[in-house]
Amino acid sequence: MRQFAAEIISNGQIAAGYFELRFSWRNPGQAPLPGQFVSLKSYGTTDLVLRRPFAISAFDAAAGEARLIYQLKGKATTALAGRLAHESLDVIGPLGNCFPDQSGNRPILVGGGVGLGPILYLGNWLAEKGRRPLVVLGFREDSLVPELSSRCRFRPILCTDDGSAGFRGTVVDYLRRLPKEELAGGELYACGPNPMMAACHSLSDDFGLACWVSMEQIMGCGVGACMGCAIPVAGSTSYARVCTEGPVFSSRTVAWTSL
């Protein structure tokens, strides 16, 4: 990890309430891996003290460029959305661990909402390595779905809660309808709202699959010093730091009912 000044290449809306930020990353020696994140200094008002963590959604070493997808949620992301190309960003990264890919099982990727970013990066990264991931992306409705074809080296399955695009239902509804042999021998990778990831965890339990989830928590330092971004660990009284032991955990590590 290091702290560096990056230049904003572009910063624009890609779906209702969702933005994509492209920024320079000229140190390929410290390339971010899928699942890793950066923290950005907050701008716009002295009111905001804490940096904000954002997962990387794409990295292009040759172009020296990284991307992230963020949702307008509060003051910090509203201020970020107002920042323009050529302005400078204060970046610390890459931070945290990454999605593992050792088993050779078929990767089944599940992204929901703002969890789309790291899932896109992982899907493209796997596709580049010649793997054939099944990528299922969930949104509440069509207006929240960004243009995907230029961002994907794979063909994602779309799900919307209201059926306005793709499959009507949740990502887990979709997966549960698949023939069992499609799921068997797969390995789940999920990033999205906690209920979605908890449902992926139950699905993985039912089918005996490994399941990796990328967790979110409010962060203080982002580097493991403050013990603030803890999540409860299953079957124990202990906690794990999302910024350091995570953000990617085995879904069996997470005490889902205590979140």
Partner 1 sequence: MDLTVRIRDKTIANPVGVASGTFGYGSEYEQLINLPRLGALFTKAVTLEPRAGNDVPRIVETPSGMLNSIGLANVGVKRFIAEKLPFLSRLPCAVIANVAGSSVDEYLEVVRRLEDHPLWGYELNLSCPNVKESCLAFGTSARQVEALTDVVRKITNRPLIVKLTPNVTDITEIARAAEAGGADAVTCINTVVGMVIDVRKRRTVLPGGTGGLSGPAILPIGVAATYKVARTVKIPIFGVGGIMDADGALQYLLAGASAVQVGTATFADPSIPERILDGITAYLAENDLACLAELQRFIA
Pairing of strands 186-191, 106-112: parallel
Q: Does 92 bind partner 1 (CB under 8 A)?
A: yes
Closest by Cα among 96, 111, 89 to 33: 96
The minimum distance between CB 201 and partner 1, in angstroms, equals 18
Choice from 230, 234, 250, 252 touching partner 1 (CB under 8 A): 230
Sign of CA pseudo-dihedral 218, 222, 228, 234: positive
Q: Which is nearer to partner 1, 44 or 224 (CB)?
A: 224
Q: Where are the beta strands (DSSP E) in the chain?
A: 2-15, 18-24, 37-40, 52-60, 65-71, 88-95, 106-112, 134-139, 157-160, 167-168, 186-191, 210-214, 230-232, 239-241, 248-250
Choice from 224, 234, 250, 252 touching partner 1 (CB under 8 A): 224
The answer to whether residues 187 and 102 touch, using CB atoms and an 8 Å cutoff, is no
Give the integer Cα–Cα distance in Å for 118 and 222. 17
Q: Which is nearer to partner 1, 3 or 78 (CB)?
A: 3
Q: Which is nearer to partner 1, 71 or 217 (CB)?
A: 217
Choice from 16, 232, 234, 250 touching partner 1 (CB under 8 A): 232
Closest by Cα among 112, 101, 107, 94 to 191: 112
Q: Which is nearer to partner 1, 204 or 253 (CB)?
A: 253
Choice from 7, 64, 239, 252 touching partner 1 (CB under 8 A): 239
The minimum distance between CB 189 and partner 1, in angstroms, equals 23
Q: Does 51 bind partner 1 (CB under 8 A)?
A: yes
Q: Which is nearer to partner 1, 31 or 223 (CB)?
A: 223
Q: Does 34 bind partner 1 (CB under 8 A)?
A: no
Q: Which residues bind partner 1 (CB under 8 A)?
A: 1-3, 41-42, 46-51, 90, 92, 217-232, 237-239, 244, 258-259
